[in-house]
Amino acid sequence: MGNDRTTSRYLRQVTLAGIGEAGQERLGKSHAMIVGCGALGCTSADLLVRAGVGRVTILDRDLVEHSNLHRQQLFTNQDADRRVPKAEAGAARLRAVNPEVEVHAMVADFNAFNAEAVVEEGAFGTPDVLIDGTDNFETRYLLNDLSVLLCVPYVYGGAVGTGGMVAVFRPGKTACLRCVFDEIPAPGSQPTCTTAGVLAPVSSVIASLQACEAIKILVGADAAVSTDLLSLDCWGNTIQRLSMRDARTPDCPCCTERRFEFLDAVGPSAVSLCGRQTIQITPGSRAAIDLVKLCASLGSHGEFESTETMLRGRLDGDDGLQMTVFHDGRALIEGTDDPGVARAVYDRYIGT
Ligand SMILES: [Zn+2]
């Protein structure tokens, strides 16, 4: 293995019985792809780069903002002042942490149109593990489709408020995400980090568990990989484990029938309305939205009013964009002609 510096860098890790020299060598030959470089993505990328995973791809569509800094550990105040793309700022920091790792940054929205190409044809080819650093269910179902299609393990994670969840889905060996959560939640039905806040140590714990599972997968420690859906609340001091050993459903559209509905989604989910500085967002799920509840959760982010069929208002932040949300989850984001910005605003304030 490598030079003296390399040997000493990984010394405390190689000493572990579960890793050893052989495991370290496997890590060095592995490729991890982290989709989303928010709090979860920052921490898991940092841990995997320090651990010596040979190639790491990070993908994110957003720019660093000051409201990210309390939890997104790869970014500095200067990154937020300069509004650097998260993938770029993250990659620069990761390369400084461990120059032996090849880091590929992709500044892109991850969606049905580009997901397959991004994962299969990125700089390092198909990854050995997919890590969830996303903030919405639509993207998670897309990652799950890809995981099953390409037979790449998917490490799911989510954190909001003071709690979070982690699970590992290994195609051919375990249930997939859709076996466990069969329906995409209705838009606005779930809290988001923007509407409910998030405690930084919670994201950090969840991302650390994700990185731990990824390391086990990459060194080939199959028997050690968690088969539970782990859910914890760090304020209420509760931990729940739900075994997923029998969670595979015989009629799962994804892993049984191999219908990749999120990859095959027809029609754009974000379209620009010509000449109006307005983007229309159509969510992946068709479930009705609770406008009164959504209006209440948006109250601290701007002036909003709801009627029976729609909600409308202007955000205090995000450049004062105006949002109109209809009861079927469709939304108009006014004040931008960038579909990526509009999708990000939708995911942050409404969520899926
Ligand atoms: Zn399934």
Compute, in angstroms, the gap from residue 169 CA to the centroid of ligand 1: 9
Cα–Cα distance measured from residue 83 to residue 119, given in angstroms and rounded to the nearest whole number: 26
CA–CA separation, 158 and 137 (whole Å): 10
* Entry field: residues in the chain: 352
Tens-digit pLDDT string for the chain (352 aa): 456 777 799 999 999 999 999 999 999 999 999 999 999 999 999 999 999 999 999 999 888 999 999 999 999 999 999 989 999 999 999 999 999 999 999 988 888 888 988 888 888 999 999 999 998 888 899 999 999 999 999 999 999 999 999 999 999 999 999 999 988 777 777 888 888 899 999 999 999 999 999 999 999 999 999 999 999 999 999 999 999 999 999 999 999 999 999 998 864 577 766 667 888 887 766 567 888 888 988 888 999 988 777 888 999 988 889 998 887 788 889 999 888 889 889 888 888 7
Ligand 1 midpoint to CA 175 (Å): 5
Q: In what order do the strands lie in the sheet with 129-132?
A: 102-107, 55-60, 31-35, 129-132, 154-160, 163-169, 228-233, 238-243
Same-fold call for 4-243 versus 270-349: no
CA of 252 relative to ligand 1 center, distance in Å: 5
Give the whole-angstrom CA distance, residue 351 versus residue 138: 9
Task: Report the separation in Å between the CA atom of 144 and the middle of ligand 1, taken as the mean of its atom positions.
Answer: 9
Task: Name the residue among 280, 333, 341 with its Cα closest to residue 65.
Answer: 341
Between CA 319 and CA 330 the distance in angstroms is 21
Which CATH number does the domain 4-243 belong to among 3.30.450.20, 3.40.50.1370, 2.170.150.70, 3.40.50.720?
3.40.50.720
Strand bridging mode 278-281 / 270-273: antiparallel
Torsion of CA 126, 132, 137, 139, to 10 degrees: -30
Nearest to 202 by CA among 168, 159, 165: 159
Superfamily of domain 270-349: TATA-Binding Protein (3.30.310.10)
**Domain ranges across the chain:** 4-243, 270-349
